[in-house]
Structure 1
Amino acid sequence: MALVKTDLPGVKLHGRGKVRDIYDLGDHFLIIATDRLSAFDVVLPTPIPNKGKVLTQMSAFWFDFFKEFVPNHVVSTKVDQYPKDLQRFRDQLEGRSMLVKKARVFPIECVARGFLTGSGLKDYNRTGEVCGIRLPAGLRDSDRLPQPIFSPATKAETGHDENISEKQAAEIVGVENIRRLKELTLSIYNRAVEFASKRGIIISDTKFEFGTIDGVIAIVDEMLTPDSSRFWPADRYSPGKPQPSFDKQFVRDYLERIGWNKQPPAPELPDNIVQATSAKYVEALRILTGRELE
């Protein structure tokens, strides 16, 4: 049974994002990943069963994996460790929620790209650059970049995120902050790429959100999930065209094929696309983390 929207009577709702419902517990937030799916920055009417659980459990894996390298906001993902008054909502929380520290979040997305695809490819085809970074001529869809690049973007609550240059990002969050965020973004990406390559997965690109907790930069929201990253099977990698993937690119490709104009309302997804997407998310969790869905 897919969870489209949470309902926790008596608990203060802080807000609903494209995928996550956030509740304000005072000192902490409770973040619940629903099975909503967004594509081209529009929430689709059809949920993907188990998607929220995959996002939460994969994020929890990576937060723990990198905990000695970069602080994160996680307090617990175990419902038994949540405040007592939340445990009556176990059916909406189990496997898909996190109790987290509050952070002052930087208002930019921190994107690392190792390959040319998606919005980066569109920018490159138009200007020869991605986020102000000049790239070699003649690159094709899914080509590996000479080295991974940091390509920040604005964060849009509604509508499309917009790619910006490092200089523009520095104007938003400060020169010293963007230097550190770039360093963290590329370091985490490179370490994750090495880890995933041993499991037959290419991480084409990924995006992170950072904030400060008690004045210290920490990673927040989600980490290296099929929603925030492009995961490609390495044994099927063939540059010069779009790649098969373990993420929502499968849905994006379907929506491109049917000619949707990328404006709300979005079309319903057929059952075969829903089931195949759900299976891809669960498979990504299993291959990358070695864990089965809880």
Structure 2
Amino acid sequence: MGLNYPLRQGKVRDVYDLGNQVLLVASDRISAFDYILPSLIPDKGRVLTQMSRFWFESLGIPNHLVSTDVNQMNLEGDVDLAELDGRSTLARKTEVVPIECVVRGYLVGSGWKEYQKTQTVCGIQLPAGLNQASKLPEPIFTPATKAESGHDENISFEQMSAIVGADMANLLREKSLAVYNAGAERAIEQGIIIADTKFEWGVVDGEVILIDEVMTPDSSRFWPQDEYAEGISPPSFDKQFVRDWLEQSGWDKNSEPPMLPEEIVTKTRAKYIEAYERITQQKFAW
């Protein structure tokens, strides 16, 4: 894109170092089963960026956002602003806390698998008699280690405390639960359940602030309230079409993944945009 800065590339985001700030550019890449797929989902990066911007601006909690307006970023070099428009976040640089702060409001995914064996999730004892997709008596905080590639690994709160210190662990648990509760309350008003989500936090000038992305279809499990039922894994506003097609494609999950059919790309793009428009009550403008 013509940006002459050191770059770190994640599965979805490209991170440019601008001194005391960073530029986060959300691509249209999509990953599944630990692989970055060869197909792009048009505007996916813009949905992630704009939904995170919505949450950063509406939650009222200290965060890293400086601007998402490329015309205010004073970017140097031969930069294609049209390509960066809508998918770029200028942010404060922080010391990233090396923990994925996961909050679960419903019993699903790896939590449901563990519960069936031990009646716990990440070591947290839960009541008997819960079903797949049951709403938990109250949201639980289940940290994980951050992985550059592959799956993050669930850890206990005690393990987290050993990594970051007891005071930081308690603070991040408190903050993560508060942000989840605020977001879940807002989303349910628009007919969307946030079943679980993960947050990242950073420290700058001694202050702990919310960073990265916030309650997007990539970092969260969104369910339509009108299709929710216990005992099943409800349909979600994310990579459902992609995962389902890959499962049925004959791909062995150990080799380079295949290109996605245009229909799957189109449906996935539409689902991401629907999630954005329903939660924010704003029209997706790109």
TM-score bracket for the superposition, by shorter chain length: over 0.9
- Give, in angstroms, the shift of residue 87 of structure 1: 7.7
Residue aligning to 1:137: 128
Report the secondary structure of 2:232's partner residue. coil
The 1:258–1:132 alpha-carbon spacing in structure 2 relative to 1, beyond 3 Å, is farther
Residue aligning to 2:263: 272
Residue aligning to 1:3: none
Q: Is contact 1:54-1:285 (8 Å) kept? A: yes
What is the CA–CA distance in structure 1 between the aligned matches of 2:278 and 2:77, rounded to whole Å? 32
Report the secondary structure of 1:46's partner residue. strand
Q: Which segments of 5 or more consecutive residues in structure 2 lack a partner in the other structure?
A: none
- Written as runs of structure 1 = structure 2, the 5 A alignment for 1:98-177 is 98-177=89-168
Q: Is contact 1:128-1:137 (8 Å) kept? A: yes
Residue aligning to 1:211: 202
1:52 counterpart letter in structure 2: G
| Mean Cα deviation higher: 82-91 or 216-225 | 82-91
Residue aligning to 2:238: 247
What is the CA–CA distance in structure 2 between the aligned matches of 1:167 and 1:240, rounded to whole Å? 31
Residue aligning to 2:19: 26
Residue aligning to 1:45: 38
| Cα deviations by residue, 1:34-59 (Å, 9 ceiling, x for unpaired) | 00011233211111111000000000
- Written as runs of structure 1 = structure 2, the 5 A alignment for 1:76-115 is 76-85=67-76, 88-115=79-106
1:12 is aligned to 2:19: no
What is the CA–CA distance in structure 2 between the aligned matches of 1:261 and 1:247, rounded to whole Å? 22
1:186 counterpart letter in structure 2: L
Report the secondary structure of 2:38's partner residue. coil
- Give, in angstroms, the shift of residue 264 of structure 1: 4.6
The 1:257–1:182 alpha-carbon spacing in structure 2 relative to 1, beyond 3 Å, is farther
What is the CA–CA distance in structure 1 between the aligned matches of 2:243 and 2:18, rounded to whole Å? 35
Q: Is contact 1:42-1:264 (8 Å) kept? A: no
- Give, in angstroms, the shift of residue 254 of structure 1: 3.2
The 1:286–1:86 alpha-carbon spacing in structure 2 relative to 1, beyond 3 Å, is farther
- Give, in angstroms, the shift of residue 211 of structure 1: 0.8
What is the CA–CA distance in structure 2 between the aligned matches of 1:255 and 1:160, rounded to whole Å? 18
What is the CA–CA distance in structure 1 between the aligned matches of 2:110 and 2:250, rounded to whole Å? 18
The 1:24–1:84 alpha-carbon spacing in structure 2 relative to 1, beyond 3 Å, is closer
Q: Is contact 1:286-1:292 (8 Å) kept? A: yes
Q: Is contact 2:103-2:198 (8 Å) kept? A: yes
The 1:78–1:253 alpha-carbon spacing in structure 2 relative to 1, beyond 3 Å, is same
What is the CA–CA distance in structure 2 between the aligned matches of 1:268 and 1:126, rounded to whole Å? 37
The 1:171–1:49 alpha-carbon spacing in structure 2 relative to 1, beyond 3 Å, is same
What is the CA–CA distance in structure 1 between the aligned matches of 2:77 and 2:200, rounded to whole Å? 26
Identical columns (%): 53
| Mean Cα deviation higher: 72-81 or 134-143 | 134-143
| Mean Cα deviation higher: 98-107 or 76-85 | 76-85
Report the secondary structure of 2:76's partner residue. helix
| Cα deviations by residue, 1:138-183 (Å, 9 ceiling, x for unpaired) | 3222111121100111110011111111111111111110101000
Residue aligning to 1:4: none
1:29 counterpart letter in structure 2: V
What RMSD in Å do the two structures reach over aligned CA positions?
Answer: 1.6
